[in-house]
Structures are given as structure tokens and as C-alpha cells.
Amino acid sequence: MTATLDATAATPAPPRRRVDWGKWFTRAVIGWLFTPIVFMIAFSFNDIQGRQNVVWEGFTLKWYGRVFDYADLTQALLYTLAIAVLTMLIAGTIGSLLGLALGRHRFRGQGTTNLVMFAAICAPEVVMGAALLSLFLVLGISTGFAAILIAHVMFTVSFVAITVRARVITLDANLEEAARDLGAGAWTTFRLVTLPMLMPAIMAGGLLAFALSIDDYIITSFVAGQVTTFPLWVWGATRIGIPPQVNVMGTLIFAVGVTLAIVNVIVAKRRR
């Protein structure tokens, strides 16, 4: 009798298979996010004969060799990349300084600046695009490359500023004082201490600006004038069938973006 009792006590209850809903939910969300990208990448290898790239017809690498076949598509991509890089640099610089000021100092108009920043993020792009177009017309600024660049810097700068501000707020103010205490002037302190500490946020903000600029369609369509960017070209091509070159370019842009993001994470980790 005792033996039976002991045995019961000693045998652990059979492990119950529990469904980890959190895990499955996470997988589902990731799948949802990545399915379109997987399709885009897959169809860049699609060996199609006609114009329509919607049915799988076999594997080929030939589109990668013929990626620059459409001169106007290549031109559009170059415009887009040029605008995105310039937006990243300009909005990255202005936004970082804005974020630094907002996170570090108290000044008149600080509340208004914050409000305007959030308004720029929240405003529907259609509204912003239309408003910018009429503004450019009133001011006599011709639509085109410069107008697109101005517009892109305008709507991405807030994202950079908010990213950098969040980092500035959590920064230990003693670090800068320590640098001053050890003989560094204001500029040296900024260069050797503040800037390296803010770098992960500045990089993240810059990448965000780059990503927002590279695929913007709505605002760009208002102010582009005669200039055709990559998203505008793709939209225009939908009526006659999107060539696989678009998928190839999309895949390459995605690869570059992922690489930059990974580098950013690794650098941030190594700093810690």
C-alpha cells in the first residue's frame, strides 16, 4: 500500500502539451509581414515569356543580368536613390540637431515645435502633398527633383528628431560633464562623447528617413512634375504589366536595407 502511494508520489504528472499561443501569434504576424516580400523576391526569378509577371513559369536568373534594360526605369531608380540618400543626409542632420535641442534644452517655442513635429507625422500624405503643391506654385518653385527633395526632407525630419530625442533624454548628462571636467571643450565633448553616444539613434533615424523617402508615392506624385521616380514608374507600369526588373530592383533595395539594419544592430551591440 505504502509502496503504491510512494510510487504515485514519485511519478511526475505526465507533461501536458500546452499550445503556446503567443509563439504562434508571433509566427503568424511575421508571416503576414513577409509573405509579400517573399513573393516579390520569388517573382524576380520568374522565367516569364510575355509581359504579365503573375503566374510562375520557371526559375531563371536572366532578369538580374538584364536589370537595366529599361533606360527610363533605371533613370527612375537613380532619381529615387539620389533623393533618398540626400534626404537621409539632410533630414538626418537637421533632425538630429532638432532632437538634441528638444531632448536637452528648455526653450521658448519648444511645445510648438513638438506639436508641429507630431502634426507632420500625423497629417495624411494626400493633404500634405496637395498643400505642398499649392505652396510650391504660390512661391514659384518649379516641381521636379528639388521640390521632391524639399518635400521628402520635410516629412521625414520629424521621424529622425523623435528617434534622436528619445535617445538624448535617456543619456546621462554627467557623461558630458565628465568630458568637460577632463579638459574637453564644448566641441570636443560633442565630437568624442555626445555624438558617439547618439550615433545608434542617428543611424536609425537616417535609415528611417531613407526608407520613407525611397518608397514614397503619394507626396512625390504631387510635386514630381516631369521627374519620374521608381515608385511612380512602377505605378505607371501596372496598366501594361510590371516587368520582372521591378522585382529585381525591389529585391536588391530590400537586400541593401536589411544589410544596413543588421550592421546597425551589430554596431549598437558592440558599443554596449
Partner 1 sequence: MGDPVTATTEAPATPTAGPKTEAVPAISLSGVTKTFHSGRETITAVGHLDLDIEAGEFFSLLGPSGCGKTTTMRMIAGFEEPTTGVVRLDGDDVTDVAPNHRDVNMVFQSYALFPHLSVAENVAFGLKRKKVKAAEIKRRIDEMLELVELGGHGKRKPSQLSGGQRQRVALARALVNQPRALLLDEPLAALDLKLRQAMQIELKRIQRDIGITFVYVTHDQGEALTMSDRIAVMNGGYVEQLGTPAEIYEHPATRFVAGFIGTSNLLTGTAANPTSDGAEVRLDCGQHVLIGQRLTEGERADLTVRPEKITISTDAPDAGLSRVRGTVTDTVYLGSSTHYTVRLDDGTEIVVYQQNARDLSATDVTTGRGSEVWLSWRPSHSYLLSDSPQGGPHRA
| List of residues contacting partner 1 (CB under 8 A) | 172, 174-175, 177-185, 188, 192-193, 196-197, 271-272
Minimum distance of partner 1 from residue 192's CB (angstroms)? 8
Q: Which grid coordinates belong to 219?
A: 507626396
Using an 8 Å Cβ cutoff, are 249 and 77 in contact?
yes
Minimum distance of partner 1 from residue 181's CB (angstroms)? 5
Minimum distance of partner 1 from residue 45's CB (angstroms)? 42
| CA-based torsion, 80, 204, 202, 104: positive or negative | positive
Which of residues 141 and 166 has its CB atom nearest to partner 1 in the complex? 166
Which of residues 38 and 186 has its CB atom nearest to partner 1 in the complex? 186
Which of residues 59 and 187 has its CB atom nearest to partner 1 in the complex? 187
Report the candidate in 201, 96, 99, 216 with the shortest Cα–Cα distance to residue 149.
Answer: 216
Minimum distance of partner 1 from residue 197's CB (angstroms)? 7
- Residue 86, judged by CB atoms within 10 A of its CB (0-12, 13-18, 19+), counts as middle
Which of residues 89 and 197 has its CB atom nearest to partner 1 in the complex? 197
Which of residues 199 and 261 has its CB atom nearest to partner 1 in the complex? 199
